[in-house]
């Protein structure tokens, strides 16, 4: 008599097939899922090693390494937003602004890399910069710059992760539509267009940014 047993599952990855895995991750393109290490078995060390030597950057989602769909224009816009935000934060010594390589461990096997993030001194233990490569902490503000490869359900999953683990404010920046969706909770948001002004709400009181100034970086060109 032949006895068959189900193959062991990776701890914490409760899926039966690739379609269920894609569904769990928000219907992302399969090409963005790293197969080495095998999905469900990847660690923070695997993520750090790949992000130091390879591109695009990867997030760690339930033990799965998922590439961030980053393009040149989106990186430009994220860098500009980070610069404007950092100028405000540093002048007032409010905390730290990180860019697209800033790791935030929200829980075990879940590490997000927001394109721009702000974390206040009050949120940081001891009011000091973390020394860990992947600190177990959530930023106060996370900003994501949409790329063509992002899916609606992927962003919905990301928002759920952020607010479940302590993020207070999320900006979803759309460079094509030149809009920003401001989330103060998972189901509470408002949409701003290029004629509006983005503010920091209760997270960064006093911060204001005219969105035409933010998106103007996409139109810059050399003289002549």
Instruction: Please report the pLDDT score of residue 128 as a whole number.
Output: 96
Q: What is the pLDDT of residues 65-96, one digit of tens each?
A: 999 987 889 999 999 999 999 999 999 999 99
209/142 same-domain check: yes
Q: Which of 67, 95, 125 is the last residue of a domain?
A: 67
129 occurs within a structural domain: yes
Q: What is the pTM of this model?
A: 0.93
189/92 same-domain check: yes
196/92 same-domain check: yes
9 occurs within a structural domain: no
Instruction: Please report the pLDDT score of residue 5 as a whole number.
Output: 53
Query: Do 115 and 101 contact (CB within 8 A), yes or no?
Result: no
35/119 same-domain check: no
Phi, psi (degrees; rounded to nearest 5) at 86 = -65, -35
Q: Is the pLDDT confidence value at 33 over 90? A: yes
Q: What is the pLDDT of residues 174-196, one digit of tens each?
A: 999 999 999 999 999 999 999 99
Q: Which residues constitute the domain of residue 26?
A: 18-67
102 occurs within a structural domain: yes
Q: Which of 67, 94, 127 is the last residue of a domain?
A: 67
169/86 same-domain check: yes
Instruction: Please report the pLDDT score of residue 67 as a whole number.
Output: 96
Q: DSSP assignment of 143-162, as one string?
A: EEE--TT--HHHHHHHHHHH
Q: Which of 46, 67, 88 is the last residue of a domain?
A: 67
184/209 same-domain check: yes
The residue behind tokens 């500009």 is: 80
94/196 same-domain check: yes
52/81 same-domain check: no
CATH number at residue 140: 3.90.1570.10
43/90 same-domain check: no
Element (H, E) at 216: none
**95-120 mean pLDDT:** 97
Query: Do 117 and 106 contact (CB within 8 A), yes or no?
Result: no
5 occurs within a structural domain: no
**106-125 mean pLDDT:** 97
179/78 same-domain check: yes
Q: Is the pLDDT confidence value at 173 over 80? A: yes
- Cα dihedral 143→119→165→53 (10° resolution): 70
Instruction: Please report the pLDDT score of residue 15 as a whole number.
Output: 86
104/118 same-domain check: yes
The residue behind tokens 């302590």 is: 166
């Amino acid at each position: 008599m032949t006895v068959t047993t189900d193959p062991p599952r990776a701890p914490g990855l409760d899926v039966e097939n690739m379609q269920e895995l894609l569904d769990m991750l928000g219907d992302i393109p399969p090409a963005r899922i790293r197969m080495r290490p095998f999905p469900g078995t990847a660690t923070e060390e695997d993520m750090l090693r790949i992000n130091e030597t390879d591109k695009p950057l990867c997030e760690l989602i339930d033990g799965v390494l998922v590439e961030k769909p980053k393009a040149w224009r989106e990186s430009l816009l994220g860098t500009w937003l980070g610069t404007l935000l950092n100028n405000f934060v540093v002048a007032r010594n409010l905390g730290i602004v990180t860019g697209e390589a800033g790791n935030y461990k929200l829980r075990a096997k879940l590490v997000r890399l927001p394109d721009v993030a702000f974390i206040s001194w009050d949120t940081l233990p001891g009011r000091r910069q973390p020394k860990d490569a992947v600190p177990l902490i959530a930023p106060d503000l996370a900003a994501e710059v949409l790329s063509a490869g992002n899916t609606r359900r992927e962003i919905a999953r990301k928002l759920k992760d952020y607010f479940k683990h302590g993020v207070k404010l999320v900006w979803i920046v759309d460079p094509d539509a030149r809009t920003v969706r401001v989330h103060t909770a998972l189901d509470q948001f408002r949409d701003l267009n290029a004629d509006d002004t983005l503010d920091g709400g209760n997270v960064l009181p006093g911060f204001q940014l005219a969105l035409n100034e933010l998106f103007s970086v996409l139109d810059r060109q050399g003289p002549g």
